[in-house]
């Protein structure tokens, strides 16, 4: 019986594999798709778990709905990364007029369409546009504004580090009302988290929120959000009810609670 192991320093997560669906190298990265016994299909890029069917909603819903409900009326949304379609699926649950997804590696999109299917038809939605381009170049050359920008990036690698740069965040700050990004694990990957926080906070005000994703490094995951508006729980509850969105994990109470940070995370942020 085969096992997949993802290492983070001196610890690892080990998952039993039922079947290897795909295993190849694209121009940019090593792409693997497995069928597992406990977690369903599992997408792995460069040896790092990107999602499993069982808990991908924990990640995608918090990445997407926190910024989407922070905005009072999001109509135009830009997603950088997210070639598996999970973030696009969640964005399209809102009454948006346009959702643009910019993904560097078209192989991820094609594999996800053919073998994964977590987008639930989002790739074919007439409101969606999928572009296979470099995200930073797209943002730098953009001549229009978006209500919300969501960055659904991979673990840092030579091709994704540019969307962790100050230059990228500065360009984003000029074209969106609300900006959100995943920001790695502050517990297992503190250097990456600190770098992202420093780069974003140098160009815009930013808040940290956290969530639990079981198959991510030791479970704890973080996100960063910029918005000029800080809606109350009552505001979020009203927007959630008015938009009639069905979720697996996210709700207004979880939204509010995700901004309550443990002391050690507060110290990291305060010391930056």
Residues involved in catalysis = 152
Question: Is 182 within any annotated ligand binding site?
Answer: no
CA distances from 207 to 121, 180, 216 (A): 32, 9, 21
> What does the CA dihedral 110, 115, 120, 122 come to, rounded to 10 degrees?
0
Establish whether 9 is an annotated binding residue.
no
Confirm or deny that 60 is annotated as ligand binding. Answer: yes
Any known ligand binding at 143?
A: no
Residue 135 assigned to a binding site: yes
Tell me: is residue 84 an annotated ligand-binding position.
yes
Write out the binding residues for S-methyl-5'-thioadenosine.
29, 103, 134-135
Write out the binding residues for spermidine.
60, 84
């Amino acid at each position: 019986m085969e096992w997949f192991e993802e290492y983070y320093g001196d610890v690892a997560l080990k998952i039993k594999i039922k079947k290897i669906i795909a295993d190849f190298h694209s121009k940019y990265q090593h792409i693997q798709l497995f069928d597992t016994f406990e977690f369903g299909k599992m997408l792995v890029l460069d040896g790092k778990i990107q999602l499993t069917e069982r808990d991908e909603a924990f990640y995608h819903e918090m990445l997407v709905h926190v910024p989407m409900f922070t905005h009072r009326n999001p109509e135009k949304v830009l997603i950088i990364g997210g070639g598996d379609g999970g973030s696009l699926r969640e964005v399209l649950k809102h009454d948006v007029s346009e959702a643009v997804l910019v993904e560097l590696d078209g192989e991820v999109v094609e594999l996800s369409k053919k073998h994964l299917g977590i987008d639930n038809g989002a790739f074919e939605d007439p409101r969606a546009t999928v572009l296979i381009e470099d995200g930073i170049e797209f943002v730098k050359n953009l001549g229009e504004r978006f209500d919300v920008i969501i960055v659904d990036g991979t673990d840092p690698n030579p091709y994704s580090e540019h969307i962790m740069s100050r230059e990228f965040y500065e360009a984003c700050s000029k074209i969106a009302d609300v900006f959100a990004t995943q920001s790695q694990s502050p517990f297992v990957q503190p250097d990456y988290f600190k770098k992202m926080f420093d780069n974003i906070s140098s160009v815009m005000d930013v808040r940290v929120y956290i969530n639990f994703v079981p198959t991510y490094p030791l479970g704890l995951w973080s996100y960063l959000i910029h918005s000029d508006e800080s809606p109350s729980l009552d505001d979020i509850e009203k927007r959630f009810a008015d938009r009639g969105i069905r979720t697996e994990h996210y709700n207004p109470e979880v939204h509010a609670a995700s901004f309550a940070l443990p002391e050690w995370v507060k110290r990291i942020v305060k010391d930056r």
